[in-house]
């Protein structure tokens, strides 16, 4: 069974441009795609955004890079349980912004940003050894940083 992590590199809007500029990356957003290949778990940087499950049937695939990750049925269940626990929680604007300016991780208990939610889901499902993933060694877990961490864990 496989999940995918989708990394947005399309032009997008003003917020996407700011994220790309600030992180000096081609990626401005990340989403987790479930094994059915059409259900995407997303939290996007808008002021009303919440963690949702959506069917992404109208995707410009050229605007995304994908990393496939092999998981067990047990790991899949943990990811789904984590989604159910966090569904509807909001975007962590304060944590995301402060993590860019302060050399420490700032975390609001019931708010997330896209790459942080995905990294945490992968960690609690034991998809990667968290010691190898080293997600807590960095305070700025941008989509680009998540891409790099996953690639390093797969090697």
Tokens 């993933």 label which residue? Answer: 133
Give the whole-angstrom CA distance, residue 118 versus residue 97. 18
Which pLDDT tens digit goes with each residue over 88-141? 888 776 776 666 665 555 666 788 888 889 999 999 999 987 776 666 555 568
| pLDDT above 70 coverage of the chain, percent | 81
* All structural domains of the chain: 2-154 (3.90.1720.10)
DSSP code for 50: B
DSSP code for 62: G
Closest to 90 measured CA to CA, from 108, 74, 105, 65: 108
Closest to 31 measured CA to CA, from 147, 131, 126, 130: 147
């Amino acid at each position: 069974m496989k999940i995918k992590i989708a990394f947005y590199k399309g032009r997008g809007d003003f917020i996407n441009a700011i994220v790309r500029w600030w992180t000096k990356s081609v990626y401005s957003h990340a989403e987790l795609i479930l094994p059915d290949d059409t259900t995407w778990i997303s939290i996007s940087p808008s002021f009303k955004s919440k963690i949702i499950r959506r069917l992404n049937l109208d995707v410009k695939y050229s605007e995304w890079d994908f990393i496939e990750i092999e998981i067990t049925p047990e790991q899949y269940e943990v990811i789904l349980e984590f989604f159910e626990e966090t569904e509807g929680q909001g975007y962590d604007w304060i944590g995301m912004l402060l993590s860019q300016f302060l050399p420490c991780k700032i975390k609001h208990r019931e708010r997330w940003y896209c790459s942080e939610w995905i990294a945490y889901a992968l960690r609690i499902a034991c998809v990667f050894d968290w010691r190898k993933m080293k997600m807590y060694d960095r305070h700025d877990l941008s989509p680009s940083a998540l891409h790099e961490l996953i690639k390093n864990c797969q090697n």
